[in-house]
Structure 1
Amino acid sequence: MTTSSPRIALLARSPSTLPGLEAECFTGLAALQAASVYDVLLLDLPGAVAGTALRGLRLDPRYRFSLIYCTQDQDAWCTALGDGQPPADLAGITPLWRLWRERLALFNRGVAPERFETRVLAWLWLRSSRGVLHALRDTGAAQHYRYPLLEALSNGETLNEFAWLQLMTGRGWLEPGVLLDRIRLCGSCGSGRLNYVDVCPECRALDIARQPSLHCFTCGHVAPQAQFLKDGLLLCPNCLTRLRHIGSDYDRPLENYSCRSCQAFFVDAAVEARCLDCGESHAPDKLQVREVRDYRLAEAGLLRCREGFDASPMDDEAFGRLNLLSQRRFFEALDWQLQLVRRYRTPPFALLGLGFVNRRETLARLGEMRGQALIDGLVERVQEAVRDADRCCRLSEEVLWLLLPHTDAAGLAALRQRLTQGAERIAGEGLDIEVRQIGFVAPDELVDQEDAQLLLARLGGLLG
């Protein structure tokens, strides 16, 4: 049976309560996990202890996605696995939990996340804009960084975290955040435990030393300075010339290093990166370079979480009726129209962008369920206005583009008027959402050398 208020548990070192909060207190993690499942957890523990408890809770399938707040100081594990500190007014936990529950019902059309990628995206989706996949610096890890959330949701599966993140980024489901670090890894085993050593550039030996040397101008001989010293005088060991004046009889060459293995002299030593795990040696420019970043859900990931993972993105119950194209196919169709109209100047076509400006605010005010019903109503108005030959593309949850073949300026104006009237009818029903429009007609508004991607970027800036 659903309830309007969450069941809250408090994990603390000693029996205690927080002011203004009704919660059952536990003094040990084992006792909490042995009890019935709670909706929201509060960890009233020091940061390091809370981080350890969080790891245990995220490994528990019952609390994998739950809201878990740390009330005291937080360490890096708390940041990576928790939901931050609770609201200053603890009564604010209830609306946050209700929003969490609504988003859970919307995720993947109500289908529980089973595969690894769906579990990760579900965790981020349930946190809305606050969901971040944090990287944690760990000197014990072979690659110096780890992603605790991926480890907790992997169910013990062997996982190449960086490769998986690149795959998800390539699909457009995740987007990288601020660059945290740039690391270099062994090309053989992928370890970041590297020792950079100076070696002889001739024989690659490690036994080199900085040693002053002299250069005889008479015969050109170069040797360590000690070999020129004889009975308190400077004598060339090769031609036995007495060296009196630096600059005229001899000088000090730039080669200040010598190799004890091959006796070579050189200016600068070569540098090798030797892997401490597999023992392989690499030139520094041959190492794998990897950027370490935090990640969050991208627009395509948000759409996929809402539309479902087992169906095509074009099968969405509302938007699927609009002849939706993927972003790549929409760009191809638009590029083709641009090429045709540039070459033949006919037939004309139009492009219309629709931006749901205050969508996020509306969803926050009405709730996820009612807000999505409002969006579906707007889509139905759009469906009534477009033709079967028109094509659409949803670049994000806020922006919809319509490609209208054989449409001139007058036809575009008539369509915009119909859409405006439909939006006004929605607003008249007490569900206020602002729909902004931007139009383009070809060949009248063509810009030289502007392709589909540049055109949509330019119009998108005007659409806001």
Structure 2
Amino acid sequence: MPASTLRLAILGPGHDALPPASPRFTDPAALFAQPPCDVVVLTAGGEQNARWAEQLRRHPAYGLTLIYCTTDHPLTQALTDGPLPGQLHAAWQQWQERLAVFNLGRAPEGLEAQVLAYLWLRAPGTLKAVRAPLSPGHYSYPLVDALGDDQVNAHALVHNLAQRHLLDSTALVDRIRLCRSCGSGHLNYVDVCVECTALDIVRQPSLHCFTCGHIGAQAEYLKDGVLVCPNCLTRLRHIGTDYDRPLENYRCNACQAFFVDADVEARCLDCGQHHAPDQLQVREIRDYQLSETGQLTARQGLERSSDAYFGGLAMVGVSTFKTLLDWQLELIARHGTPTFALLGLRFRNLGVTLRRLGPQRGHALLDSLIERIQVAIRETDRCTRTSEEHLWLLLMYTDAPGLRTVTERLNQISELFVGQDLQDIQLTTSGCVAPGDLIEKEDAELLMARLAGAL
């Protein structure tokens, strides 16, 4: 591992697994004063490493850099790449290759692009939520906070990326409830009167007079050591005959009401608003990783993550493709026209081959496949990719003979899969023609799932 090839920096005391000649720094400021290093290893204690990791991620030169850590801490799990790998140079080489193909070679600009770039460089990466008791939301995404600034709403950004199918949830960490007025999770749950919602309620035994029906505190019935109803002055001798103990055991000192169970009210400690528990905002806290769509977007260009058509390739996002397909199915159900064909293609073992070829050669192959497919279809057709192995074509005004013609043209792409590196790739297709091949009440999701089962 020549120093001229990989510039490694040690932040903290020395470590046996690291080259002794590697420069060592005692604090991030000293590291920042030098030209940026390729890899940083944190070797201090857990809390110190966590603080340093946050400082490194906030620095423009180290936001995406490989940072390894010799200790375990919730913050270092969220901000670093974990323990030092056995093949450090290979990991750094892969990082460089992935950076070269990210967003068609353009540097990430903006917080969303940086988050996607960070995960892409470690694909699928990990975006972890960490408990933050002092935060109004109780949880934070340290990586988003570090790459952004204090004005960024990390939860909103992550939720937006997940809604656009760029992130996939890997685990449900927690479910919290927040104030609807200010979004704070600092809530106090209190028992209040069911009549006037006053806080001043007490639990005290009460009695119910059968003669007049009066209900009052037990102390009101005690007179000279015997029980006498304060309302009708009847002497109460036998429980169950003259009186009983009602279920109402709470009394409000504000309105004097008696009740069985108090109401529960959530009071925000930040803005002071009062809410019923079922009126609170429920938020699920999840860990995420880069989705298949996110990986395709990171490689093909971030501007293609929208639902607009992808230039001359007639590619659309998955959600838009399904919307178009649902629309055609509704037209078929109502009017019986227009005729269209849906064709699914799967490149078996493509993922394994891509990993074997490496990011640059593999993705170049993938792009050439898409270009060849575009030659076989028309400008009015639309296509989308649900994964790196699956491609879907919506062929408008195409009947059964037309579908066979397109399928034959696409099968010729198999000629590309020659040679020792590509021989494992196999192209399979599955298609149907509407309305003849449709099943009643079948929507886009079910139709694509049915065809995918044959791939």
Give TM-score, length-normalised by structure 1.
0.89
Aligned to 1:419: 410
Q: State yes or no: 1:323 paired with 2:314.
A: yes
Are the equivalent residues in 1 in contact too, given 2:112–2:157 (CA < 8 A)? no
CA pair 246-142 structure 1, distance change in 2 beyond 3 A? same
1:240 and 1:314 map into 2 onto residues whose CA distance is 80
Aligned to 1:360: 351
Aligned to 1:113: 108
> What is the SS of the residue equivalent to 1:400?
strand
> What is the SS of the residue equivalent to 1:448?
coil
Aligned to 2:73: 75
> What is the SS of the residue equivalent to 1:104?
helix
Q: Aligned AA for 1:392?
A: C
1:4 and 1:386 map into 2 onto residues whose CA distance is 49
CA pair 456-21 structure 1, distance change in 2 beyond 3 A? farther
Aligned to 1:166: 159
Aligned to 1:46: 45
Which range moves more in the overlay, 20-29 or 236-245? 20-29
Are the equivalent residues in 1 in contact too, given 2:297–2:304 (CA < 8 A)? no
Shift of residue 320, structure 1, vs aligned partner: 4.8
In the TM superposition, 1:58-457 aligns within 5 A as 58-72=57-71, 74-87=72-85, 89=86, 92-129=87-124, 131-154=125-148, 156-310=149-303, 320-339=311-330, 348-428=339-419, 430-432=421-423, 433-457=425-449
Please give the root-mean-square deviation of Cα atoms over the aligned residues, in Å: 2.7
Listed one character per residue, the Cα deviations across residues 101-152 of structure 1 (whole Å, up to 9, x for unaligned) are 11111112222112121111111111112x1211111111111111111110
Shift of residue 235, structure 1, vs aligned partner: 1.4
Are the equivalent residues in 2 in contact too, given 1:58–1:65 (CA < 8 A)? yes
1:293 and 1:330 map into 2 onto residues whose CA distance is 27
Are the equivalent residues in 1 in contact too, given 2:137–2:185 (CA < 8 A)? yes
1:436 and 1:329 map into 2 onto residues whose CA distance is 24
Q: Aligned AA for 1:440?
A: C
CA pair 334-272 structure 1, distance change in 2 beyond 3 A? closer
CA pair 283-54 structure 1, distance change in 2 beyond 3 A? same
Are the equivalent residues in 2 in contact too, given 1:213–1:256 (CA < 8 A)? yes
Aligned to 2:34: 35
Which range moves more in the overlay, 106-115 or 325-334? 325-334
Shift of residue 313, structure 1, vs aligned partner: 6.3
Shift of residue 215, structure 1, vs aligned partner: 0.7
> What is the SS of the residue equivalent to 2:283?
strand
Are the equivalent residues in 2 in contact too, given 1:378–1:423 (CA < 8 A)? no
Could you list the runs of 5+ residues in structure 1 that have no partner in the other structure?
none
Q: Aligned AA for 1:37?
A: P
Give TM-score, length-normalised by structure 2.
0.91
Shift of residue 407, structure 1, vs aligned partner: 3.8
Shift of residue 310, structure 1, vs aligned partner: 4.2
Are the equivalent residues in 2 in contact too, given 1:314–1:320 (CA < 8 A)? no
> What is the SS of the residue equivalent to 1:62?
coil
Listed one character per residue, the Cα deviations across residues 60-115 of structure 1 (whole Å, up to 9, x for unaligned) are 1111100111123x11001110111122x2xx111111111111111122221121
> What is the SS of the residue equivalent to 1:63?
coil
CA pair 61-340 structure 1, distance change in 2 beyond 3 A? closer
1:327 and 1:296 map into 2 onto residues whose CA distance is 18
CA pair 429-403 structure 1, distance change in 2 beyond 3 A? farther
Q: Aligned AA for 1:459?
A: L
Could you list the runs of 5+ residues in structure 2 that have no partner in the other structure?
none
CA pair 296-241 structure 1, distance change in 2 beyond 3 A? same
Listed one character per residue, the Cα deviations across residues 206-255 of structure 1 (whole Å, up to 9, x for unaligned) are 11111001111111111111121122211112222121111011000111
Are the equivalent residues in 2 in contact too, given 1:378–1:426 (CA < 8 A)? no
Which range moves more in the overlay, 414-423 or 211-220? 414-423
2:208 and 2:427 map into 1 onto residues whose CA distance is 82
Q: Aligned AA for 2:194?
A: P
Shift of residue 20, structure 1, vs aligned partner: 6.6
> What is the SS of the residue equivalent to 1:440?
strand
Report how many residues are paired.
453
Q: Aligned AA for 2:8?
A: I
Shift of residue 171, structure 1, vs aligned partner: 2.7
Q: Aligned AA for 2:277?
A: P
Q: Aligned AA for 1:427?
A: V
Are the equivalent residues in 2 in contact too, given 1:304–1:313 (CA < 8 A)? no
